[in-house]
């Protein structure tokens, strides 16, 4: 039998481990804390060391520091002796050697970085070995099998756990004043009277005014009942970021296929009636618009992943890859309640599963420093007779209360209460101010021709506008760093496209909102 050599052992660096311990003994006041910055969590920091002797020594150093005891070679040796572990680590002589062989405590970050990197590799090797054992075990157990997809999910989960536990570039706490230079620079732009976008523009004027843009690290939720235009608004935001701002966007769609999303986006962007296409009535002008739109969208850096069973771990892996390879600046997800449970949590209550997914999305936004816009369903209770006419509230988010806690911004798409204004229009025949937004939209050619054929004056009426245009409010119900309130939008049903209901200075006094 061959004797194991350093090359056949798991990745480790005896010299770096000795260097970390030696630096801790040279500078006991700050050495242990400095080592923790570069190693894993305090609870498992000793496991970053491969040598069992070094694990014992560092664990005792941590305990002595927490007990606020003085640390040097003598006190460390006495503590180990009292625990019956001094001989096991090589005696007091070995402790002295650790301190003597280190030239300076200033080398601690370098040594600790090497130790943490080796620990990360060992964790990854362990994850792969665990997957192999699972596969071998499934072959031996009659009637049981492990799918390739399940195995990939397990490997991904274990490797991501290794990355999270043993990051070699751990962030350190920053002094409050270190953030002031960027704040002062931003204040200067505000003071010059300029509209300041702190993040990506959405393409909607009033939404940008409320949020100052989609900012890195933010987790935003847009919720609605089916048929209110959730997918349309998030694809329109993605389109604006990719086409107008020329920034790459990732779209994860669990509900619609990539082809369907591309088709809808093409017609919406080109301004062509989608129903004409479905009914086979495209005109030459429509085809011209679609050709121009296709040419522009073909250059747009929108990356669609339409995997229908993508859980949070798989999504995180794909988002990291797109950030690294394509430089994405925005992540959009359609929609939250369709995401499956994390492997191993399939039998949990759905609310618990969604809570894990929501917390994972918030962590992903902070890790990648990107805005993550997630669509969600609202509870059916909002449509009950008792709830009709009221504005949505955070508790209307379906299945899980954790979503509202994690999200930085929560918006609800809902139809405003305009019954009083509609009755007034029907009674007087005059368009109320709440419907003044209709004047910004020309009548479709087909409607104009139909009214002229019936010898009617071609204009918007209470009866004909609902087929083409629909008022929708986007209620910002929660925002950590900004105001809340209603944003008036118009949904153009034939184009599957939203726009601001009003331009600045044209809003009616009451806006017709509930």
With H, G, I as helix, E, B as strand and everything else as coil, classify residue 377.
strand
Q: What is the dihedral of CA 198, 200, 205, 208, to 10 degrees?
A: -40
**CA–CA gap between residue 236 and residue 243 (Å, rounded):** 10
Q: What is the mean pLDDT of residues 205-215?
A: 90
CATH code for position 99: 1.10.860.10
Same domain, 302 and 394: yes
DSSP 280: T
Mean pLDDT of the chain: 81
Lowest-confidence region among 10-14, 160-164, 206-210, 220-224? 160-164
Q: What is the dihedral of CA 151, 153, 159, 161, to 10 degrees?
A: -130
Lowest-confidence region among 33-37, 81-85, 244-248, 311-315? 33-37
pLDDT tops 90 at residue 244: yes
Same domain, 129 and 216: no
Per-residue pLDDT at 41: 57
pLDDT in tens, 44-56: 678 888 889 998 9
Residue 342: pLDDT band (50, 70, 90) is low
Same domain, 137 and 228: no
Residue 171 lies in a domain: no
Same domain, 308 and 216: yes
Same domain, 153 and 246: no
Beta pairing, strands 249-253 & 330-334: parallel
User: Of 388, 414, 440, which one is at a domain's C-terminal end?
Assistant: 414
Global confidence as pTM:
0.68
pLDDT in tens, 466-489: 888 888 999 999 998 888 899 989
Residue 462 lies in a domain: no
Count of Cβ atoms closer than 10 Å to residue 392 Cβ: 22
User: Of 104, 139, 165, which one is at a domain's C-terminal end?
Assistant: 165
Per-residue pLDDT at 241: 94
Alpha carbon of 277 to those of 268, 281, 287, 289, 349: distances in Å?
A: 12, 6, 10, 13, 43
Per-residue pLDDT at 512: 36
User: Of 165, 196, 215, which one is at a domain's C-terminal end?
Assistant: 165
Residue 309 lies in a domain: yes
Same domain, 158 and 238: no
pLDDT tops 90 at residue 222: yes
Same domain, 236 and 108: no
Per-residue pLDDT at 40: 61
Residue 215 lies in a domain: yes
Same domain, 133 and 256: no
First-to-final CA distance of the chain: 82
Q: Which residue range(s) make up the domain with 131?
A: 14-165
CA-closest candidate to residue 418, choices 500, 494, 488, 467 = 488
Residue 437 lies in a domain: no
Per-residue pLDDT at 514: 36
Per-residue pLDDT at 42: 54
The alpha carbon of 21 is separated from its chain's Cα centroid by a whole number of angstroms, namely: 39
Lowest-confidence region among 113-127, 146-160, 268-282, 305-319? 146-160
Same domain, 159 and 286: no
Residue 250: pLDDT band (50, 70, 90) is very high
Residue 212 lies in a domain: yes
Same domain, 24 and 144: yes
- How many domains does the chain fold into? 2
């Amino acid at each position: 039998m061959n004797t194991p050599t350093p090359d056949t052992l798991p990745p480790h660096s005896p010299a770096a481990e000795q260097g970390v311990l030696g630096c801790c003994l040279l500078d006991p006041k700050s050495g242990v804390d400095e080592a923790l910055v570069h190693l894993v969590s305090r609870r498992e920091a000793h496991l970053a060391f491969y040598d069992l002797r070094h694990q014992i020594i560092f664990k005792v150093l941590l305990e002595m520091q927490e007990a606020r005891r003085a640390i040097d070679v003598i006190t460390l040796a006495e503590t180990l002796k009292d625990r019956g572990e001094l001989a096991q680590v090589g005696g007091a002589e070995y402790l002295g050697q650790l301190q003597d062989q280190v030239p300076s405590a200033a080398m601690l970050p370098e040594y600790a970085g090497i130790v943490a990197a080796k620990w990360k590799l060992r964790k990854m090797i362990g994850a792969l070995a665990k997957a192999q054992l699972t596969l071998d075990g499934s072959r031996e157990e009659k009637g049981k099998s492990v799918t390739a997809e399940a195995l990939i999910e397990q490997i991904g989960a274990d490797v991501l756990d290794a990355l999270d536990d043993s990051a070699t570039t751990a962030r350190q706490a920053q002094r409050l004043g270190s953030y002031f230079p960027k704040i002062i620079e931003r204040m200067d732009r505000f003071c010059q009277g300029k509209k300041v976008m702190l993040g990506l523009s959405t393409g909607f004027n009033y939404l940008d005014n409320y949020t100052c843009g989609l900012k890195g690290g933010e987790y935003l939720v847009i919720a609605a009942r089916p048929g209110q235009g959730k997918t349309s608004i998030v694809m329109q935001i993605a389109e604006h970021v990719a086409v107008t701002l020329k920034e790459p966007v990732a779209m994860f769609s669990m509900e619609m296929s990539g082809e369907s999303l591309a088709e809808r986006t093409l017609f919406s962007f080109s301004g062509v009636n989608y129903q004409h296409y479905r009914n086979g009535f495209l005109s030459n002008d429509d085809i011209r618009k679609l050709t121009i739109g296709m040419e522009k969208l073909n250059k747009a850096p929108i990356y669609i992943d339409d995997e229908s069973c993508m859980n949070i771990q798989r999504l995180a892996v794909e988002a990291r890859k797109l950030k690294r390879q394509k430089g994405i600046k925005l992540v959009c997800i359609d929609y939250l309640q369709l995401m499956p449970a994390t492997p191993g949590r399939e039998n949990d209550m759905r609310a618990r599963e969604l809570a894990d997914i929501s917390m994972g999305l918030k962590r992903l936004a902070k890790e990648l420093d990107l805005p993550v816009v997630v669509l969600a369903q609202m509870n059916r209770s909002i449509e009950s007779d008792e709830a009709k006419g009221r504005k949505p509230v955070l508790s209307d988010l379906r299945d899980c209360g954790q979503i509202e806690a994690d999200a930085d911004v929560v918006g609800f798409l809902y139809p405003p209460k305009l019954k009083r204004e509609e009755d007034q229009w029907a009674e007087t025949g005059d368009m109320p101010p709440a419907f003044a937004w209709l004047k910004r939209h020309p009548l479709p050619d087909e409607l104009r021709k139909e009214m002229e054929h019936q010898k009617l004056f071609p204009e918007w009426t209470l009866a004909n506008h609902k087929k083409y245009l629909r008022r929708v409010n986007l209620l910002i119900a929660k925002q950590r760093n900004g105001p809340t309130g209603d944003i008036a939008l118009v949904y153009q049903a034939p184009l599957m496209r939203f726009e601001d209901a009003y331009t600045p200075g044209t809003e009616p006094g009451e806006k017709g909102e509930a």
